[in-house]
Structure formats: structure tokens, C-alpha cells
Amino acid sequence: MPATHVIANRQEHPRILILDDGKGFPERVQQDVEFSCTLKVVSSLEQVDPSEWDALITNRRHMVSTFNNFDFIHNRVAEHLYIFSVLPGGWNANPGRLDRVKGADQRDDWVNLELRGHVPGNEVRVNTGLDPDLRASLVAAVEARSHQVGLLVPESLPKGVILDEFARGPQDLVLAGALQAPGRGEVWFVPTEVDSLRPWLFAAMQSWRRQDPKKFPGDPDWWESLEWFSAHERTIAKKIEVEVAAFEHAKAQFLSTLEGLEAALSDAREQASVGSRQLLVGQGDPLQDSVRDALRDLGFGVRDMDLEWPENERREDFRITDPSDPTWLVLGDATGVQGNAKGGKTAALQSYVTKYVYEEKPGRIPGMWYLLNREISKDPAARSTILRSDEVAPFASENGLILDTTALYVLLRHGEEIPADKGAIREYLRTSVGRLSLQDAQAWLQGRKGIVSVPS
């Protein structure tokens, strides 16, 4: 009768190997995590029988390449091992492969999952379902380095192979994720710059326990298991659950509101770009249309004279009136220039007034508004002074106003925010002569704060 044998020195599951890189990696892992399982640090997998182990934690490649005189063969460590791979940030542009996978039916060709290093950039797109602590850890890790290391995803994966992408970075690199392939232990990979491996290993072990509870039984001591909380701990934990649920609800409402507001802001920006913002950047017809609409919005009456003059006999762009003063009239002309203004336009306006008086014989000589947008490529706050004083003074003496359209922009915005102040804005413009700059309008609006309630 043959003898019966049993294993006399069976080790506790999970049985975890840490592959030593010779640079302190095992020490980092054990500082981050207080293990209560079977643990062994090895410098080479040849030092152990892989069949006795469940998982491998490494920051070295777990793919081994050999050359058979014709081609490279890429072999993976023991198929059954669950792997937690920490991707070093210093790998060169072609750091090798993360894994080699084949479909469930085993008929498809192997697909190599290649790693790429030294990819510049820091923008990261994170899976919305990722735990908030893991998300924060991952974003901080990506921002901590100028070049990224990650997985290049093939156009298609074999049947049954699942890549759970935790985050994508520049050039669509998968910076962290979990890989499941038929008949293999799951592979997790994260950047080495994460501040602590503990929450990542905790999440990986939870996933592995669901797949293989025999190898990963129960929650080790370093998992804070609700199952064995004291009554006091359970009371506090329930309160935490309530607060977290309330926070998540408020967060969802906030994100929904924020999304709606950002969409509204995008629409408003688009409207402004073809509307009032032309007062800051426009020339030609777009500027004239924007000036006309702004004056009408403030309550002025505006005749668009380009619609009335013959094409080859145009004069002033606008005839502007104010219902608050029925006898008041100005002839206006809007011009946009890349540089600064020239004095010739004021002389042209004076000639238009002469023709108007000759033809209309009004009881009151109209004023003149030269509505000017200049140095349009510059920030409005950094633009130079409108014309020289010796050019402005003669124009002002004939009831002329050179109105910077940037000043009209801020006055219009104030009037839209506080409609009751539109009458005061019209009076301010009606009684101004000479030169009215952006700084003049801002100073006037600052003075209005003591009279009306101005939104911040």
C-alpha cells in the first residue's frame, strides 16, 4: 500500500513575492503596506518555485525576451501569478512590453502590449468610476513628472481580454490600469510616483479576491475590514457612510450645475464674439454693427445711414439721437484700425456736419462722434492714448467726441447689468466732448458705485 503524504509546511495565503530591484523597492513596498501574509523578497524568480506563489509585486519588466536565431520570443512569468507592476518613470523611449495576450479561443495570434516612455505632457483623463483617493494619487503622480510612461493600446484586443483603463495621458498612453486575460492572473500597473502603494495594493487585492478567493482569502490585518469592526467603530463608520453619500449627492448636483453653466458660458462667449466683443476687436461692418447695436441697447436712437446713402456717396455711418433730449443729434462714424488713429477722420466728420447743415438747415448744429477701435491686437488695457491733444482740441471745440469703443464696451456691460443706469450713461456720453478713453469710462463707473448698486 503506497504511503500517503500531506504538505507539512503549507504557507498561508495569499503568498506574495516582491522582486528586488537593488534600489530599495522592497523597502518602499513594506513601508507603505504592513503585510500579514506569506511574503518573500527575491532578486530573481529563479530562486523560487512559482507554483507555490500567488502574486508578484515588481517594478521590473515581467516579460522576458529571448532570441531563437530568427525572431524574439516574449515570454511572461508563470501564468497563474497575479501581478502588481509599478512602472518606473525613467524608462527610455521604448521600455519594452507590459504583457502578451491571446484570446479565449486561443486561435488568434498573440498581441503584444507595448510600453512607451519619455512622452512629454501632464494632461490626464481619469476614469470617472475610479475611487477619489486613487484619482487624487494618480493625478499628483502624473503632474510630478515631465515625461510619462504608459501602455500603448492596440487597435483591438483578442476576445476575452479586458483592459480597464484607470487613466489616459498624453498621446493616449494608458498610465494606470488593470488587465485581465483568459487563464491568467490579473495585472495591475501604476506609476512609481504615486505617493503610497497602500491604497493601490488594497484595491488590487480586493479585485483579486473576487476572482480567486482561495488564493486571497479574507481580509488581512492591513485591510480595514468592516466585518470585524467594534460597535463603536461601526457607529462611526455608518456616520461616515451618511456623510459620504450626502457629499456624493451634493457633488453630483454641483457637477450637473457646473456642466450647465459651462455650456451656457460657451454659448455666451460665442454670441459675444460676433456681438459686443467686436467693440474690442472689430473692424469694418462687424464693428459698425456692434456699435449700432450697443448704442440702441443703451437707449439711443440710431439711424444706420449706410442703408440710406447711395453706395458711392456715403458719408457718416450713423445719426444718433436721445429720447431724453429731442433736440440733441450727433453724426457718428465707426472705424477700426490695427495701429493708432489718424486725424483725417475728424476732418471728414466735420465736412459731413457742414453738408448736413446746408441740406437740413437744423435749428441746432449736430455734434460729432468718432467711434474708434484701435490697436486691436493689444489688450484693451494696454493700448496707447487716442490721438494727440492738438488734434483733439479743435474737434472738441465743434462739439466733437472721440469715443474709444473699449469705453463703449464697459459702459454697455454696466448698462446690461444695471438697466436703470442706462439713462445716466446716455447723459454722460451726451455731455462729453474731446476724448473719452477706456480709463475715463472706468473712472466714471467707479464713481457710480456710490450712487447705484454695482455687481462685483
Answering whether pTM is above 0.85, one says no
CA dihedral (381, 384, 387, 392) in degrees, to 10, reads 50
Residue found by looking up cell 530573481 in the block? 44
Per-residue pLDDT band at 431 (split at 50, 70, 90): very high
For residue 208, the model assigns a pLDDT of 92
CA-CA distance, 96 to 79, in Å (whole number)?
19
For residue 244, the model assigns a pLDDT of 87
* Phi-psi sector, 213: left (phi>0), alpha (psi -120 to 50), beta: alpha
Q: Could you tell me which residue, 135 or 383, shows the higher pLDDT?
A: 135
Q: Which residues contact 296 (CB under 8 A, 6 or more apart)?
A: 302
For residue 173, the model assigns a pLDDT of 92
Q: What is the DSSP letter of 291?
A: H
CA-CA distance, 16 to 57, in Å (whole number)?
7
Calculate mean pLDDT across residues 165-174.
92
Per-residue pLDDT band at 452 (split at 50, 70, 90): low
Q: Which helix (H) or strand (E) holds 241?
A: helix 231-274
The two beta strands, 367-373 and 400-404, are parallel
Q: Do residues 153 and 171 lie in contact, with contact meaning Cβ atoms separated by under 8 Å?
A: no
> How many percent of the chain have pLDDT more than 70?
88
CA-CA distance, 414 to 402, in Å (whole number)?
20
For residue 223, the model assigns a pLDDT of 46
For residue 222, the model assigns a pLDDT of 44
Q: Per-residue pLDDT for 273 more than 80? A: no
Nearest to 416 by CA among 260, 271, 302, 259: 271
The two beta strands, 318-322 and 55-58, are unpaired
Task: Quote the crossing angle between the two packed helices 438-448 and 405-417, to the nearest 10°.
Answer: 20
Query: Which ranges of 275-400 does DSSP label H, i.e. alpha helix?
Result: 278-281, 284-298, 344-360, 389-397
CA-CA distance, 376 to 190, in Å (whole number)?
49
Q: What is the DSSP letter of 129?
A: T
Per-residue pLDDT band at 217 (split at 50, 70, 90): confident
Calculate mean pLDDT across residues 70-85.
76
CA dihedral (139, 143, 146, 152) in degrees, to 10, reads 10
